[in-house]
Amino acid sequence: MGEEGTAWLNCNERRFNCWLELEKLYAEGKVRAIGVSNYMLQHLAPLVEDILQRKKAGDKFATIPMINQVEISVFCDLDPELLAFCQEHDIRITSYATMARQEKINDEKSTKILKSVGDKYNQSIQNVMLRWALQKAYTIIPKTSKIERLEENLGCLEFELTPEDMNKLSSLNEGFRTCGDPHTIS
């Protein structure tokens, strides 16, 4: 049992307390949405279970995360079980690092597939990767500090990948992460 008298088995107490504070901010109208970042199923399921228990007990402030921001790219797609869980609980997926890292894009197999798909649509490799994520219904947040890149990134909205091209791009998924692996966080 946590300090608030809620069940929170096998999870970090600080993570839970942080969530309670986010719920307070949301209830007070100080933030418009609350969510989590890098939560894998092992992190998210206990949190949602606790929230649902608190709601059932009458806690009017108990709020399920609205967003789970995770690293997703053609090289590291979301675990299907996590995706299903998020969909079941109406948790939107936001992808960061959608364009991966240059060294991965430059490997021979990846370059061949990405370039052939990009050439087919007259789009950059980066736009192909962004479009893939959009068509998988992920929200994307491509990082850039240059207006030219921002304008180029908008090109991902100007075309649609065929199911065959989506499958080609998805075949690049090897679980390659550019950031740390959140599965290893208890």
Residue-wise pLDDT for 82-128, tens only, equals 999 999 999 999 998 878 765 556 678 888 999 999 999 999 999 99
Is 129 among the domain residues?
yes
Percent of the chain with pLDDT over 70: 84
* pLDDT tens per residue, range 141-164: 988 889 998 999 999 999 999 999
Residue 33: CB partners within 8 Å, gap ≥ 6? 26, 66, 67
Asked if 77 and 170 count as a contact pair (C-beta separation under 8 A), the reply is yes
Is 181 among the domain residues?
no
Is 158 among the domain residues?
yes
Dihedral sign for Cα 170, 175, 178, 184, please.
positive
Q: In the prediction, which pLDDT does 47 show?
A: 92
Q: In the prediction, which pLDDT does 144 show?
A: 84
Is 178 among the domain residues?
no
| CATH number of the domain enclosing 18 | 3.20.20.100
More confident residue, 74 or 174: 74
Q: What is the DSSP letter of 174?
A: S
Is 69 among the domain residues?
yes
Sheet holding 92-96, edge to edge: 35-37, 67-71, 92-96, 139-140
Q: In the prediction, which pLDDT does 9 show?
A: 45
> Could you list the residue range(s) of the whole structural domain that residue 164 is in?
3-171
Residue 32 — pLDDT band, cuts 50, 70, 90? very high
Is 183 among the domain residues?
no
pTM, two decimal places: 0.82
Is 124 among the domain residues?
yes
Residue 30: CB partners within 8 Å, gap ≥ 6? none
Is 49 among the domain residues?
yes
Residue 136: CB partners within 8 Å, gap ≥ 6? 77, 166
Q: Report the number of distinct structural domains present in the chain.
A: 1
